[in-house]
Structure 1
Amino acid sequence: MTTRVAQIERSTSESRVRVRVDLDGTGRSQVRTGVRFYDHMLESLAKHSLIDLEVEAEGDTDVDAHHSVEDVAICLGDAVREALGDKRGISRFGDALIPLDEALVQAVVDVAGRPYCVHDGEPAGQEYVLIGGTYVGSLTRHVWETFAHHAAMAVHVRVLSGRDPHHIVEAQFKAVARALRAAIALDPRVEGIPSAKGSL
């Protein structure tokens, strides 16, 4: 069986990032981004996608969290894309509807090789909320847009309800995790590439 593991490193004047994924893991994680709330979200993503995830990042968080959050999302997307290889035998599509107390989020992904992101439904003002002292609410959409582009996936995230800013973000990460878990799962009935075109 092919090992679906990848490691990506990225170094800029703004950050240094290393991300390692094992798509056939058990959801173990070791995450240090310098943005504690983001660590919590990525740990949740790993736990519910069953992707083993290691993230080490050092960035200019004294400026703000944006560069570190973005560069980790870039590396995460690149790592998942590389680990998927030619995508033989995967389910390809995944969807999830996840509650977190009052929050409810739907996520749907297509590992199609065509990057696209649709993100809507957050309540007015969510983009301006500061969570954990450093994480601005607008970063959530940016994470999904960046991840979708670098993972070459269609990622749709729809917030159906929610009041607490923490819950609204966390439900998104859990929903994407469960959708991703379904999409990258190996299906023994799938022969070759799951596309009528013969490639993804």
Structure 2
Amino acid sequence: MRKGRIARTTSETDILVELDLDGTGTYDVSTGIGFLDHMIEQFARHSAIDLVCKVKGDLHVDQHHTTEDSAIAIGQAITQALGDKRGITRYGSAYSPMDETLARVALDISGRPWLVWKAEFTQPRLGEMDTELFEHWFQSIAQAAGITLHIELLYGQNNHHIIEGIFKGFARAMRGAVALDAVKADAVPSTKGILGG
């Protein structure tokens, strides 16, 4: 089974993440930030990755550490679950419509982290969450999981729809990328023979 488990404690956060890449999208998420919980739940459901994400963070300071560290821990668990990445499809992409909004996400589990972010918000908060932290969440997960990640809002107006469309697009792209390739099940999908570096 392709599973990952990260227990990570710092002076800023205490985190437990458990995931199964071959799951059905069940989730148990509690970060202390309601809107972030909602987005991580969307990621689990639409990626079909079973996910536990429990965070106790220094929310009395602000939301930055909780947001960043949740993404780092999920990314590390993905890396752990993938192992040498043998047999994975590697690439994934999705168009994600949500009412008036359309987002496009393309990614490569390359081992070379990179984020291209082309999305903006017209309000500073959604629920109690600072909208500037969404880009940082994706930067952190891309770094920790070694993902080349391109996210683009093609159009949209409602800020909730924009970020939910992005998270669902990321989930669907990840679902395709971590899937096992029936044709190349025993091969690392790279002419180098390894991914990363």
Pick the TM interval, shorter chain.
Answer: over 0.9
Using the TM superposition, give the Cα deviation of residue 19 of structure 1 relative to its aligned residue in structure 2, in angstroms: 0.6
1:96-115 alpha-carbon deviations (Å, 9 max, x no partner) = 00011111100011011111
2:173 aligned with 1:193: no
Q: Which residue is equivalent to 2:130?
A: 136
Residue matched to 2:112: 114
C-alpha distance in structure 1 between counterparts of 2:55 and 2:64, whole Å: 13
Question: Residue in 1 aligned with 2:99?
Answer: 101
Q: Which residue of 1 aligns with 2:54?
A: 56
Which residue identity lines up with residue 33 of structure 1 in the other structure? T
Which residue number in structure 1 is paired with residue 156 of structure 2? Answer: 162
| Rounded Cα–Cα distance in structure 2 between residues aligned with 1:179 and 1:120 | 17
State the 4+ residue runs in structure 1 displaced beyond 3 angstroms.
none
CA distance in structure 2 between the partners assigned to 1:178 and 1:144 by the alignment? 15
Amino acid at match of 2:183: R
Q: Secondary structure at 2:105's aligned position in 1?
A: strand
Aligned mates of 2:155, 2:37 — CA distance in 1: 24
Counterpart residue number, 1:19? 17
Question: Can you give the 5+ residue segments of structure 1 that lack an aligned partner in the other structure?
Answer: none
The alpha-carbon deviation at position 14 of structure 1 amounts to 1.2
Calculate the TM-score normalised by the size of structure 1: 0.94
The one-letter code matched in structure 1 to 2:187 is G
State how far apart, in whole Å, the 1-side matches of 2:79 and 2:139 are.
15
Distance 2:119 2:164 in 1: 14
SS of 2:46's partner is helix
- How many Å apart are 1:122 and its aligned residue? 2.2
CA RMSD of aligned residues (A): 1.0
Note if 1:75 corresponds to 2:69: no
- Selected match of 1:174 from 168, 175, 181: 168
Length, aligned pairs only: 194
CA displacement at 1:165 relative to structure 2 = 1.1
Percentage identity across aligned positions? Answer: 45
Q: What is the aligned partner in structure 1 of residue 83 from structure 2? A: 85
